[in-house]
């Protein structure tokens, strides 16, 4: 089986060949495996959204190639197969819901795919249950909270049975509760086998991924599992990115001489590491702590 997404030497130039040309993606090669949870981070204008739009053929390469489940995005006959496999959720929830009732919105995608009526009903039910919004199926989308709207937008994509969900700053406009709801939903879907590509400028959200890629000026500046990427605080800072709260705290304390282990990402790990030190009487007496 081919990898879910394979990008080879992708270059994207807007307004190519004109004085207004902008090189937005400048030679990216990337493979995304089935079932992966990939976070894409990077400052404003680093090329995140341009990269995302190549994943379901909303944009086509100026140079290089993008393959989705073995299908070349440049092949016009494959566009609908590609869009069925890779669903996109965007920043503004209000721009993504079109119907006046939640369940009609979810049915829209499968209807366009020509799914038979009876199966659509089952898919709508299943998709709303997957984002924990079943009880809102007859509600008006515009009356929902931001987090609920994004979950409905995700359900609309799930109803097309995609292999991959791409979220382009989909939590950026949400309040903390809405963010948590969407992130929990996405994690659960990923645990159930859906590949997730989460584009975010919030480093705390990138911690949840299996792998992070950091973009800078249209190129991959840093890549690796979170623990490894967050050990390169200096490189991240040079890219205008800050460490998430817990790794930053561990780093500060380490710099103050507390011998905390590397690779601490989550509050629980931090508390365990501090507790282990507190229990280490040898260390305490050496440092004059009583």
For ligand ADP, the binding residues (CB under 6 A) are 14-15, 22, 24, 42, 44-50
Q: Which helix (H) or strand (E) holds 38?
A: strand 37-42
Which lies closer to ligand ADP via its Cβ, residue 47 or residue 141?
Answer: 47
Please, what is the minimum distance in Å from the beta carbon of residue 165 to Mg ion? 17
Residue 49 binds to Mg ion (criterion: CB under 5 A): yes
- Three-state SS at 68: strand
Q: Which is nearer to Mg ion, 84 or 200 (CB)?
A: 200
Instruction: Label residue 229 left, alpha or beta by phi (over 0 means left) and psi (-120 to 50 means alpha).
Output: alpha
Instruction: Pick the closer one to Mg ion by CB: 54 or 137.
Output: 54
| Residue 283 binds which of ligand ADP, Mg ion, none (CB < 5-8 A, kind-dependent) | none
Minimal CB distance residue for Mg ion: 49
Write down the residue that tokens 């709207």 correspond to.
149
Structure tokens at 44: 């404003």
Question: How much of the chain is in helix, strand and coil states, percent to nearest 5?
Answer: 45, 20, 35
68 in Cβ contact with 4 (< 8 Å)? yes
Residue 87, strand partner residues: 165
24 binds, among Mg ion, ligand ADP, none (CB under 5 to 8 A by kind): ligand ADP
Of ligand ADP, Mg ion, none, which one does residue 46 interact with (CB within 5 to 8 Å by kind)? ligand ADP
Using the contact rule CB under 5 A, the part of the chain among 6-14, 49-57, 152-160, 226-234 near Mg ion is 49-57
Distances (CA, A) of 239 to 38, 209, 242, 263: 19, 19, 9, 20
Query: Taking the complex as a whole, how short is the minimal distance between the CB of residue 212 and ligand ADP, in angstroms?
Result: 15
With tokens 């948590």, the residue in question is: 180
Q: Looking at beta carbons only, is 189 or 239 nearer to ligand ADP?
A: 239
Burial class (CB in 10 A: 0-12, 13-18, 19+), 76: exposed
- Using the minimum distance from each CB to ligand ADP, give the nearer residue, 14 or 283: 14
Other C-beta atoms lying within 10 Å of the C-beta of residue 288: 6
Toward ligand ADP, which CB reaches closer, 44 or 281?
Answer: 44
Give the binding site for Mg ion (CB under 5 A): 48-49
């Amino acid at each position: 089986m081919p990898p879910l997404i394979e990008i080879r030497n992708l270059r994207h130039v807007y307004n190519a060949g004109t004085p207004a040309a902008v090189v937005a993606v400048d030679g990216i090669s990337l493979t995304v495996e089935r079932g992966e949870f990939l976070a894409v981070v990077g400052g404003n204008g680093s090329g995140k959204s341009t990269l995302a739009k190549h994943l379901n053929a909303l944009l086509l390469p100026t140079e290089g190639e993008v393959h989705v489940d073995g299908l070349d995005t440049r092949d016009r006959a494959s566009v609908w197969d590609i869009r069925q496999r890779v669903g996109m959720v965007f920043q503004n929830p209000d721009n993504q819901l079109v119907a006046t009732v939640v369940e009609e919105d979810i049915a829209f995608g499968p209807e366009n795919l020509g799914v038979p009526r009876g199966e659509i009903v089952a898919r709508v039910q299943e998709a709303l249950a997957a984002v924990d919004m079943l009880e809102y199926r007859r509600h008006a989308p515009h009356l929902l909270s931001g987090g609920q709207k994004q979950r409905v937008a995700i359900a609309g994509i799930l109803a097309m049975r995609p292999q991959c969900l791409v979220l382009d700053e989909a939590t950026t406009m949400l309040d903390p509760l809405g963010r948590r709801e969407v992130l929990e939903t996405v994690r659960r879907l990923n645990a159930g086998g859906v590949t997730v590509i989460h584009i975010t400028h919030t480093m705390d959200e990138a911690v949840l991924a299996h792998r992070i890629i950091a973009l800078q000026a249209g190129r991959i500046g840093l890549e690796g599992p979170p623990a490894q990427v967050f050990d390169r605080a200096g490189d991240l800072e040079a890219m205008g990115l800050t460490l998430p709260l817990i790794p930053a705290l561990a780093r500060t304390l380490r710099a103050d001489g507390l011998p905390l282990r590397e690779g601490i990402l989550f509050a629980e790990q931090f508390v365990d590491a501090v507790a282990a030190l507190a229990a280490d009487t040898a260390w305490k007496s050496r440092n004059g702590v009583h």
